[in-house]
Structure 1
């Protein structure tokens, strides 16, 4: 490796992530009324396949605990997430997606797949980071 190979790779990753996040924020908001952070939280909740402790959720996403708490409150108010007191820790709560939340996540996931396919076509940085090749 050259002296700058790792730095060059990091810059490429940072650039690709910024491009993806900008597109995700715009498209998710326009089409589904979601931000990328809410989408990420919903993704973790779908993979949990049931109830998940709010604290555990915070540790699995790339957002701070206060951000996760704020977004969970918004998603609960919107009817996408339900909560119940945690049986092992009275200070915490468990959460899971409601049927409406699962439906929204399914629709928004399809949108994100389309966005990511388009981005791998148009951006070499994204293509490299995603390990994809351009369609010819």
Structure 2
């Protein structure tokens, strides 16, 4: 049997690590705020970008910000509207579109969630990092400088060579 491609192996390890951290974050935010990470992320991004559109954001913009399809974003926004965290109204410039804005309850939820998110990420990374001690990802998460530079067909990082 052929040994696995090192790049595929690293990608699989990275993906497993990411999934484990995300699961921990979801569980932590769910226990304390009754929000999923995607829901919290949507609220946080809406607040971050609220200065770019004082009248609200289109659903298409929101789906691009949080990395979901428009239909998944529509369902997510629907859940947040039902909980009173987002106001949704027909856009004045296009009756086929919706503008969404945060409520004061959403702003309060974001403020309460920021330290929870920080704790969840820090805890998950600390727990899982021992599995990934000899990786660039572990160095990056530890705050050590990561210097990758292209060298023809590969990226080099200190003692690691990352095939493209």
* TM-score, reference length from structure 2: 0.71
Partner residue, 1:71:
76
Relative to structure 1, the CA distance from residue 87 to residue 34 in structure 2 (aligned partners, 3 Å threshold; closer, same or farther) is same
- Which of residues 86, 89, 92 is equivalent to 1:84? 89
Offset from partner CA, 1:29-62 (integer Å, 9 cap, x none)? 1110101221121122122124211111112222
8 Å CA contact 1:81–1:98 kept in 2: the answer is yes
Partner of 2:24: 23
| Bigger-Rg structure (1/2) | 2
Equivalences for residues 1-136 of structure 1 within 5 A: 4-49=5-50, 50=54, 51-124=56-129, 125=132, 128=137, 131-133=140-142
Structure number with the higher helix fraction is 1
Q: 1:86 to 1:130 in 2, by over 3 A?
A: farther
- If the length of structure 1 is used for normalisation, what is the TM-score? 0.84
Q: Find runs of 4+ consecutive structure 1 residues off by over 6 angstroms.
A: none
Please, which runs of 5 or more residues in structure 1 have no aligned partner? none
Cα deviation for residue 130 of structure 1 reads 8.1
8 Å contact kept, 1:37–1:63: no
The structure that is strand-richer by fraction is 2
> How many angstroms does 1:129 deviate by?
5.9
Contact 1:16 1:129 in 2 (8 A): no
1:114 Cα shift? 0.6
